[in-house]
Structure formats: C-alpha cells, structure tokens
Chains A and B, each alone.
Chain A
Amino acid sequence: MSDLVMEKAAGEARPAAEQPTAGRRMAAYWPFVLPAVIVVGSVIVFPWVFTIWMSLHEWKIGGASSFVGLANYLRLTTDPRFGEAVVHTLVYTVLAVILPLVLGTLAALVFHARFPARGFLRGLFVMPMMATPVAIALVWTMMFHPELGVLNYLLSLVGIPPQLWVFHPVTVIPSLVLVETWQWTPLVMLILLGGLAAIPTEPYESALIDGAGRWQMFRYITLPMLAPFLMVAAIIRTIDALKSFDIIYAITQGGPGTASETINLYLYSVAFAYYDVGYGSAIAVVFFTLVVGLSVLLLYLRQRTKWTEAGAAI
C-alpha cells in the first residue's frame, strides 16, 4: 500500500509533458506481451479452436469434410462404446487415485520415521516412478500371464488358485490399477513426505501432554495438516489417471473386448485407427471438458483444505 502511495507521488511530481499516454503505454507493452500471445495462441488456443471446428464436421482422413453441426456430439449419446469408455475411465480413475493415496500416505508415515538405511530404502521405493511406462507394461504383461506369469506362481505358494488378471473382463481394470499403483505410489509418498516435514512439532507435544494416542494424533493432527498435500497429490493423480494411455494400451489395448477401453483409448482408435477425425475431435472436446471439470472441482476442494493463519484447515 505504501509503495503505491510513493509511486503515485512520484508520478505527480513529473512534468505533464513527460506523462505517457494510454496509447503509448500500450505500444510499449505489446513487444513484451506479443511473444507469449503468439506462443499461447499457436500452441494452445489454435489447436483447441481447430479441434472444436473439426468436431462440427464429418471428416474422415482421405475423404471430404462436411459441416454437420452438433451431430458428432449427438452420436456420442447413442454410442454404447463411448458410454462404456466413460464408465471404465471413471472406475479406473477412482481406483488409481484412491489406492496410491492410501498406500502413499502409509509409505510416507513409514519413511518419515527415523530408522537405519532409511535413505537407501526411500531411493529403492521411488524407483518404479523412474521407469518407462511401456517397459513397465511389457514386464507386467509377462507377470500377468495366466500360465507362465510369476504372479500366479506367487499365489500358488500361499494356496490361492490362479487368476486371469488382465485376461478376463472382470479383473482387467483392477489389474491395470495394480500396475498404476505400483508405479505412482512413490510420487504420492514424496509429496506427503514434504507435507509431514512441514508439520510443526508443537501440536504433537500438546497432544501427548493431553494423553492422546497414536491414532488420535494421526486422525486429529497429522491428517488435517496433511490435507492440502493430499489434495495436491489427488489432483496430480486424478489428471494422470484420467489421461492414462500407455500402460493400458501396451498391456491390453483396451481388451479383453472393450473391458478396459477408456475414453483416451477409444479416442485414439476413432481418430488414428478409424481416421474419423470429426467424431474423434468431438470425443476429445468432451474428454477435455471432463478433465477440466474434475480438476476445477479438486482445486475448489483444495482451497477448502488450505490452512488458515490459525493453523487449522478450513
């Protein structure tokens, strides 16, 4: 506030002839703004406007295009495969967010404690995150094999009958979530470790004096104070899980049948296997809206979990 007053006073002190006009000010601003406008316009705005334009056309690569208005969007409402893909996407996303959050929280609590070789074990734990998704997918595909895979062998050691994993419509999504969880739980852990390190020790000391148990301290101190970090992890995981493609495509290609086909995979098939660019664009627009909608919702929830100056989450 005081800076503003000083700036204003300095301006008043200048002679009237030196005052820049609004037009000159704009002219001075544009050279700085223009590069960003060009980059954002060509890299973000233009592709989106073009995608929306394509979604209003019936256009197959190799053929002519014709304006069809909202016909592609109406087609979505009667396309059972799209409906199934939406359900698969939501189920996959919910599972692929909740499991890493729960396991990541547990892992963060474990690795926050001090014990020998903690640094080494932390390093080991985050290694899946560094691996290439397609390489991971190929390894897991072998592990999932009902006859030759190691997972069924491990189950047999504890007397559990062999499972079909990604080779059966009912178990395919949970199995894929297992891979996603294995890879991304370390990311959640890293975010939450940062959160745990930021929590002051005084509330715990007070709680101990008041006779609180471990669970009570976790429930009423750690969890609320970790909430903003959990929300950050949830947002990152949600966006990642929604747009997950590589692992699913490399392991199942959306199968068996269409049992693991998410919107992303369906969109890929429509646009790049069927070359139906118009309809594919309509799916892309709807998918984008879904991602943005969920992200806005999570950002709103994050705002609500922010700490107040008093130290409590609201």
Chain B
Amino acid sequence: MFDSGLTRRSLLTGTLAAGSLGLAGIPLARAEPQWKKFSGSTLEVNLIKSPRGDILQKYEKEFTELTGIKVASEQIPEQQQRQKAVIELTSGKPSFDVVHLSYHVQKRQFEKAKWLADFSAFLKDASLTEATLTESDFSSAGLLYARNQQGEMRSLPFSVDYWIVYWNKELFAKKGLQYPETFDDMVRAAEALTDPKEGIYGFVARGLRNANVPVWTSFLLGHGVDPVDASGNLLTDGPEAIEAAKLYQRLLTKAAPPGVAGFNWSECQSAFLQGKIGMWLDGVGFAPPLEDPTKSRVVGKVGYGVMPRGPKTRASATFGDGIGVTEASQKKEAGYLYCQWAISKLMGGRLLQTGSGVPFRHSVLNDAEIRQGVKMPAAWVDAVAESAKISRLGLPVVIPVTEFRDIIGTGLTATLSGGDPAAEMRKATEQFKPVLERSERA
C-alpha cells in the first residue's frame, strides 16, 4: 500500500534520524530514542473511527515490533468516542492510556481539565524523542492546537483538515468560467453555473445545523475576523459576521440544490459525485471518493482550489486531530512513544499517500518521495500545501464548541428558510452569550 518504496526500517530506525540532522536547532550527535525501553508493557489506545484510526490500527503491529510494547486499540465513532473520553477522563481513571482528540472541539476542554500529560520534557529528552521531531516541523495551526496558554505541549498534532473548494472543471469549461479568485467571483460563478432545469447547481456546502458552521466561518475568516477574539469577545453578530451569513444564505439559496438545509458533508459529496455541482466547499479529507471510478462520475474532472480571497484576506478554515497520553496513565513514556510513532514520517506518509488525512508536519508534506506516492492528483497536494500557508482555526477555542455550533448553526439554517441573516445572527449571539459566560465561570 505504501507506494513510495519507503520502508518502516529505513524511515523509523535509520533515515528519519539521519536525514533530519540538518534541521535547525537539533544537536548533530543526538542519539536514537530507546524504543525498546518499555518493552513488555501494554497500551490501551482509544481512537476515533476514521481513516486515520484505520491506518493506526492497521500498522500497530509494526509499533510492537519496533518497541516491544503491545497495543490494545479500539475505534469508536466520533461523537461516541468524544462522550466516552470525556466521561472516563472526568472519572479520573480512564480505561485508556492514549487518546485521539479533535482539537477543534476538545482543545480548550482538555486543557482546562488538564486531562493529558505534559510532553514538554519528553520532547527534549533524546532517549525518548527522535531527532526529526521538533516543534518547528509542525505547521502553525498544529502548534496553535497542541500548545496550551502556558506553552506546554500536552498532545502531538496528528492530522489536519484544511477547507478547500472542489470544483467541476467540465461544468466550468462549458460555461467558459475560470476558478474564482474572490468571494464575489465565487458567487458569480455559482449563479452562472446554476441551471435547475438541467439539475445543475453552482454550489453546495453543508446546511445542516452544527455541521454548517465551518462553511460560515470560512467566509468570516475571509473578512479577517475570527468568531471569538483573543479576549474572548463574541464577534458573531458584527458586520463581518452578518456579511458572511448573507453570503452563506445567497450561495445556498440561489445556487445550491433543493433540500440543502438538511445536507451534511455526505449529502454534499453524493451530489458532487453525480457531476451536477459546480463547487463544493469542504475539508480536504473528503477527496478520495471523488477520484474513485466505482463511486464517482467526476473522476479526472475535479479541480482542487484554495479558498478564494475574501474582502480582507485569503484564509482556509482549519480543523485537526491530536493524540496524547492521559495524565492518569501509569505508562506515560510508553504512550508518548506510541504518539510519536503515530505522527512519524512513515505514518504521516501513509496518511497522505492514501488520502486518509494530512499530517501537520512540514517534513512529510514537503518530502518529494512521499509526494510521488500520493494517489490523489497533484492539484490536491498543491491545494493542501497552499492551504497550509493561509491556515486559520475554523472554530473558536472555547469549551462549549458544540453549543456554539448548534446555536450559530441553527441561525444559519434559518436563513435558508428566508430568515434575515442579521436578525438570526443577533438572536444566535444572544443565545450563546450566557452559555459562554457560564462555561468560563465554571
């Protein structure tokens, strides 16, 4: 499955360390980690059911060969995994040592409760950390996610999801259109492409409450504004937020297929796969089925575009997963070795090449050999790399992220039934304010 010809041995036990000696700030004589130091121990690993989790489970025997540490892992669907993790971590005696977390939902919650072990000392320990693993190798979004306010790393950034625009090159060509450079161009193209009589629609994105918020934040970030500012003030009813909601309403009511108010990513993907959608705004991770001839009618016709420029800036809403060791675990070092293996160049390469996810590490993304083995078109890899440069967090770093998504998302969905964007955003903001205050007070 690993097409580049890279092998576990060549990367993990040799090339990785040797090839990285030139990285800034790394001592040239740095020793190999003592992989076998915790041989014989067993780790309980709790993963989110996803292609990323599949990859980790598929190759965990290699980790056992490398370290002598046995792995007992389980994959649980995302929502249920989050519930299980939070409930068990609250109990103080979680049944797992290593946990896979969604930064965009759980970062603040995990940091505030200090549920994860601090890796700061481990990262400096040459007997535990391979030389390639440096903070500077992570993208800025990865560091933003993994570091807490005190600068501690209590998890390692595992996989990032940048939001891009999938576009149907054939439909664009028929209308003589170019890929949009700005939000205004995007609206014009979407409306020009839309032809309900032919069942063709220019744009699709999530309309379902909660799931739809990243669509709106993608527009908001283009206005140079985050939903919550650095001081914790809500900016969800400001002029930029309302403009972003108007854009959301316009695209999803004038250029999107009927019923979009109930669409999550899967319905959007199904519609795009049929070849009757001009543009689809969503995460890079949903690309593989588009190029699968057994599932897609748009194989070879898909363009992978970086998010168009907004009135103020060009920004790609970013989401991500991390992996950490619980504070309650008695096997913190062994767990850290697992986390390090999970985000290693070997595993990151596999993640990228299979389209299962995108690593946060520059050394993986920029590795020519790994890029050659990527099954997805080169345009996809380029879109990933370009999006990394304009990456901005897609959701606010607050504890009640789910409430935020539910409440703001309800307002956005209401705009699709004719609700006034300004009124809906103000109403949603009023509803969310006390929730945020309560959470900060707690």
Task: Please report the total number of B residues contacting A with Cβ < 8 Å.
Answer: 40
- CB of B416 within 8 A of CB of A256, answer yes
- CB of A145 within 8 A of CB of B267, answer yes
Task: Please name the residue on chain A nearest to B402 by beta carbon.
Answer: A273
B160 to chain A, nearest CB (A): 24
Residue of A whose beta carbon sits closest to that of B417: A169
Q: Which range holds the interface residue count of chain A?
A: 20 to 34
The distance in angstroms between the C-alpha atoms of A246 and B442, with both chains bound, is: 32
State whether A256 and B86 are in contact (beta carbons under 8 Å apart), knowing that A62-B113, A269-B406, A273-B402 are contacts in the complex.
no
Least distance between A194 CB and chain B CB atoms (Å): 39
Stretch of A38-46, A118-126, A159-167, A285-293 at the chain-chain interface: A159-167
CB <8 Å contact, A164 and B413: no
Instruction: Judge whether A168 and B259 touch: CB under 8 Å.
Output: yes
Docked complex Cα distance between A147 and B410 (Å): 23
Cα separation A169 to B417 with both chains bound (whole Å): 8
Known contacts A148-B270, A273-B402; is-contact A169 B83 (Cβ 8 Å) = no
Q: Is B199 close to A, CB under 8 A?
A: yes
Establish whether residues A254 and B209, one from each chain, have CB atoms under 8 Å apart when the complex forms. Answer: yes
A272-B83, A274-B400 as given contacts; A148 in contact with B274, CB under 8 Å? yes
Within 8 A of A (CB), among B200-228: 207-210
Majority secondary structure, B binding face: helix
- Give Cα distance in the complex from A148 to B417, angstroms: 22
- A148, A269, A275 pick with most chain B CB within 10 angstroms: A275
Do residues B86 and A255 form an inter-chain contact, with CB atoms below 8 A?
A: no
Q: Are A255 and B257 in contact (CB under 8 A)?
A: no
Q: Any chain B CB within 8 A of the CB of A89?
A: no
**A257 to B270, Cβ gap below 8 A?**
no
Identify the 9 closest CB pairs spanning chains A and B, nearest first.
A167-B259, A167-B262, A146-B259, A256-B261, A257-B413, A63-B442, A146-B258, A273-B402, A257-B410
12 additional contacts, CB 8 Å, given A62-B89, A258-B209?
A147-B274, A148-B270, A167-B258, A167-B259, A169-B417, A172-B262, A253-B210, A256-B261, A257-B209, A257-B409, A257-B410, A275-B86
CB-defined A-B contacts under 8 Å, sample of 13? A61-B87, A145-B259, A146-B257, A146-B258, A146-B259, A148-B270, A167-B260, A168-B262, A169-B261, A169-B417, A256-B207, A257-B209, A274-B402
**B interface residues (Cβ-Cβ under 8 A, vs A):** 79, 83, 86-87, 89-90, 109, 112-113, 199, 207-210, 257-263, 267, 270-271, 274, 276, 400, 402-403, 406, 409-410, 413-414, 416-417, 431, 438-439, 442
